[in-house]
Amino acid sequence: MRIDLNADLGEGFGPWTMGDDAAMLDIVTTANIACGFHAGDPDIMRATVEAALARGVAVGAHPGHADLAGFGRRRLPGVSARQIETLVAYQVAAFAGVCALAGHRATHVKTHGALGNLCTEDEAAALAVARGIRAVDRGLAFIVMPGTATERAAARAGLRPIFEIYADRAYAPDFTLADRSLPGAVIHDVARAVGAVLAMLGEGAVIAAGGARLPAQIDTVCVHGDTPGAVAMARSLRAALEGAGWHIAPAAAA
């Protein structure tokens, strides 16, 4: 009855902000912090890591495609496995440097947006990410989606997997995330999100559209920090989990 709550944070750029990171850091136990390619910059990275440290929140790198204009959520054709490996190593290493400066320890890596979606279905891309992580620090965990190429890549690369489900996203029948362009793919209804998470944790399974179930280990639950109502959803989810007897703690510390 131990579970982690994570959010993708540090996604502003320069003077522009995205979401309410301070409020989210008071609720979640793990933060995945943008590394400057899809969002974020060195100053935001450092400030977010320092804020997480002050609250006892675990931190990890959140690398994405080099796509600031598209917030890393556009599929970029023609990106090779070698390029993915390099861009992940570059971002993870930069994040490790910022963590060293802030006096906090990086614990994990979680891919962002279109890169993350690609890695759930593309074995070569997922393995390239895993190699990029391992090249920087073999001790970093890899947040993966159960039953996808990311889980298999973590095993092949010898990285510790942290198995994740999403509170605010619907699952396609193949247990990948439903495309954001589809109606209902992004869940804004708090009661629906909380109910889905409690059901998946209770059954120990990912539950997809149509009711298909994939038995799985579940270590962490994600609430996206940039969606409207993210703070209210995260707060309600934490209260519901604690009310159901779950102990909320960073997965990387388990």
Range of the domain at 189: 2-253
pTM for this one? 0.96
Copy the structure tokens of residue 58. Answer: 């675990």
- Compute the distance between CA of residue 239 and CA of residue 84 in angstroms, rounded to an integer: 38
pLDDT over 80 at 253, yes or no: no
Q: How confident is the model at residue 254 (pLDDT cuts 50, 70, 90)?
A: low
**CATH number of the domain residue 217 falls in:** 3.20.20.370
Q: 205-207 and 213-215: which strand pairing?
A: antiparallel
> Within 13 Å, how many C-alpha atoms sit on residue 155's CB side?
10
The pLDDT tens digits for 129-152 are 999 999 999 999 999 999 999 999
Where residue 24 falls among pLDDT bands split at 50, 70, 90? very high
Q: Which residue in 146, 107, 106, 112 sits closest to 129, CA to CA? A: 112
Q: Is 159 helix (H, G, I), strand (E, B) or coil?
A: coil
Q: How far is CA 19 from CA 23, 25, 52, 118, in A?
A: 9, 11, 15, 25
Give tens-digit pLDDT for 185-195. 999 999 999 99
pLDDT band at 228 (very low <50, low <70, confident <90, very high): confident
The total number of structural domains in the chain stands at: 1
Q: If you average pLDDT over residues 9-31, what whole number do you get?
A: 97
The answer to whether the beta carbons of residues 57 and 252 sit under 8 Å apart is: no
